[in-house]
Amino acid sequence: MSEWLDKIGAAPSLTALDELRVAALGKSGAITARLKSLGAMDAETRTREAPAIHAEREAVTAAIAERKAALEAAELERRLATERLDLSLPAATTPRGTIHPVAQVMDELTEIFADLGFAVAEGPEIEDEWHNFTALNMPEAHPARAMQDTFYVAPGSGSGAGGDTGRVLRTHTSPVQIRTMMAGSPPIRIIAPGRVYRSDSDATHTPMFHQIEGLVIDRAIHMGHLKWTLETFLKAFFERDDVVLRLRPSYFPFTEPSAEVDVGWSMEKGRRVVGGCEGWMEVLGSGMVHPRVIAACGLDPEEWQGFAFGTGVDRLAMLKYGMDDLRAFFDGDLRWLKHYGFGFLDVPTLSGGVGA
């Protein structure tokens, strides 16, 4: 028995140790053979011999486990000592990934609005109907709910925002207005970029796309503030001073009055670009936050008012960088990403030009 224990204690490697385990305890191992021989003994001999054999098997099993742990610990020590990584060394290969235009545009928008004093707010993509609709002045059975092709989340699946009603994949970033007003107190100046979902799919619609929401709540806010903010933002974003805006009366349940915002476009090198004024195209929805929305968030609409706006980030990216098929945004085609993507060092800054 001590012979096994000595050998196990001296096993130089995990492989050598495993060979010993097989030789002692394997199917045709020495100790296994002795265990098997118990069957052929008469009762008296067996009673005498059995305890020693079982004890040997236990001692050898324990010794193997102990040696295994010691060899593994030594191996780890050796690897920790030899496989050192110097993280301060320069990268061995040139990075080949690119920043997706949506990420780039979101960074550009964040940079522009941060300069105007806006913070970035977030909300859940699985949203409850109260935040997505009801609090935004779209009560149940309101026709506006049918305007958005909502993805409903089956009751009881996953964990989402909860609330008094069912859950949906948020159809717009507007519920972040509600969450921000309920979580903090005015004055509020936020933008909320993020993913939104609608059951819709063609060359200009994908089931998931990106929006950015803006919200300002303070005392004595009026539409002049809205127009100035949008004009300043669009000029900075498109990097042109000749961006002209047109506010057109419109309807959104959560704003009163509501305005759709068009920008002037002109043809340059055979392509329609923002700036100048050969024609108009719609880029934003906006308006003065409806008093009912402010009240739903527990604020007094007599004291607090503000404006909100929302627009599609993917569309802004297409207008600025000239892609024409939205679906390509989400195909993950490396050739497209290489062509339209941005270098990871092209961090947008106002001083360097947000276009990077």
**Residues interacting with ligand DAH, by CB under 6 A?**
172, 174, 213, 252, 255, 285-287, 308-310
Q: For ligand DAH, give the closer residue by CB, 252 or 304.
A: 252
* CB of 221 vs ligand DAH, minimal distance in Å: 13
Whole-angstrom Cα distance, residue 194 to residue 171?
11
Whichever of 64 and 221 has its CB closer to ligand DAH, that residue is 221
State the nearest-atom distance from the C-beta of 208 to ligand DAH, in Å: 14
What is the closest distance, in whole angstroms, from the C-beta atom of residue 180 to ligand DAH in the complex? 12
- DSSP letters of 52-121? HHHHHHHHHHHHHHHHHHHHHHHHHHHHHHH----TTSPPSS-----B-HHHHHHHHHHHHHHHTTPEE-
Query: What is the three-class DSSP state of 25?
Result: helix
Q: Which residues contact 65 (CB under 8 A, 6 or more apart)?
A: none
**CB nearer ligand DAH, residue 56 or residue 127:** 127
Shortest CB 272 distance to ligand DAH, Å? 22
Q: How far is the CB of 152 from ligand DAH (least distance, A)?
A: 17
Looking at the Cβ atoms of 110 and 286, the one nearer to ligand DAH is 286
Return the structure tokens found at 104.
């780039």
Q: Could you tell me which residues are beta bridge partners of residue 282?
A: 262
CB 326 within 8 A of CB 318: yes
Between 98 and 137, whose beta carbon lies closer to ligand DAH?
137
- Pairwise CA distance, residues 131 & 199, whole Å: 19
Give the total residue count for the chain. Answer: 356
Q: Smaller CB distance to ligand DAH: residue 20 or 196? A: 196
- Residue 155 CB, shortest distance to ligand DAH, in Å, is 24
